[in-house]
Structure 1
């Protein structure tokens, strides 16, 4: 059971059982899809797919189905990946009643976006711009009107650029953080254990998302 290969096989078995329960709960009912894309630590583009549906008790459920590696993030590539995933789990686009994405052109484009490609096959798959994404854009818009806030993020961005451009500066911050962590552990101000106090890389801030990578 300590073999990495065996552990992956066990995890895969659990995943298949969970998916089986999700599809049994969904049955032959209609559902919506939520799609987002992200890059993992190995620099691979991944597409995450979530099903949103109402169960027999009238409760709204959102269930993560899986991550799909895509070579590029064009609308046609994402649509092809969704088609393959649906075929694998015996799902049908005719059952889709909603689409939820961010506002990027490849996702929400009026003519060649992912939403348009799906609407061509199923006119009932109405598109809704992700409310969380909209809210974050509103917050960013308001924050940019306050001098103190945008200056703070400007300084953070400049600091990130300066530090990440030099290995020596990164080493200096790393050593300084180690000393502070040792002192904090000695005063019992922080907890210790597996997975705690790991080193993280600095990430450039973005309007809609920020990626933190484990080093």
Structure 2
């Protein structure tokens, strides 16, 4: 029995000229159309928690939900963890100092392949 043809889709990286919810939602919908993916078939959306993304009135979430109420928004778990770590580090001078030194080491070593 022959397996059904499965099309692979890759959203890719898109250069955004604006970071408004309206512009980003339009870019997403345009790219899905280019890939031949009907937005009506989408059942979820997930990304960072910036106001332009998750905003309930003008963010990407709201604009996409207007077009497809079944594309429910789920916040990105990795981004949430990053925000928790950043906020926790701000509460401790030792942690701020540690991450500051770590950032300086990273900058130093990433600037040169010889290091």
The structure 2 residue matched to 1:84, chosen from 26, 30, 33, is: 30
**Superposition RMSD on alpha carbons, in Å?**
2.7
Any unmatched runs of 5+ in structure 1? Answer: 1-19, 24-63, 160-172, 179-196, 200-215
The structure 2 residue matched to 1:75, chosen from 8, 21, 24, is: 21
Normalized per residue, the structure richer in helix is: 2
CA 88–150 in structure 1, closer or farther in 2 if over 3 Å, else same: same
Any unmatched runs of 5+ in structure 2? Answer: 1-5
Once residues 92 and 60 of structure 2 are traced to their aligned partners in structure 1, the CA distance between those partners, rounded to angstroms, is 36
What is the DSSP-based 3-state SS (H/G/I as helix, E as strand, rest coil) of the residue aligned with 2:56?
A: coil
Runs of 4 or more above 3 Å deviation:
152-157
Q: Scaled by the length of structure 2, what TM-score is found?
A: 0.76
**CA displacement at 1:92 relative to structure 2:** 1.2
**CA displacement at 1:136 relative to structure 2:** 1.0
Q: Deviations over 1:107-154 (max 9, x none)?
A: 000100000000011111111110000111111222223221113345
- 1:21-170 pair list within 5 angstroms: 21-23=7-9, 64-154=10-100
Once residues 98 and 23 of structure 2 are traced to their aligned partners in structure 1, the CA distance between those partners, rounded to angstroms, is 38
Once residues 79 and 141 of structure 1 are traced to their aligned partners in structure 2, the CA distance between those partners, rounded to angstroms, is 29
Q: Scaled by the length of structure 1, what TM-score is found?
A: 0.43
What is the DSSP-based 3-state SS (H/G/I as helix, E as strand, rest coil) of the residue aligned with 2:57?
A: coil
Report the structure number with the largest CA radius of gyration.
1
Normalized per residue, the structure richer in strand is: 1
Larger RCO (CA within 8 A; separation ≥ 6): 2
Once residues 198 and 88 of structure 1 are traced to their aligned partners in structure 2, the CA distance between those partners, rounded to angstroms, is 43
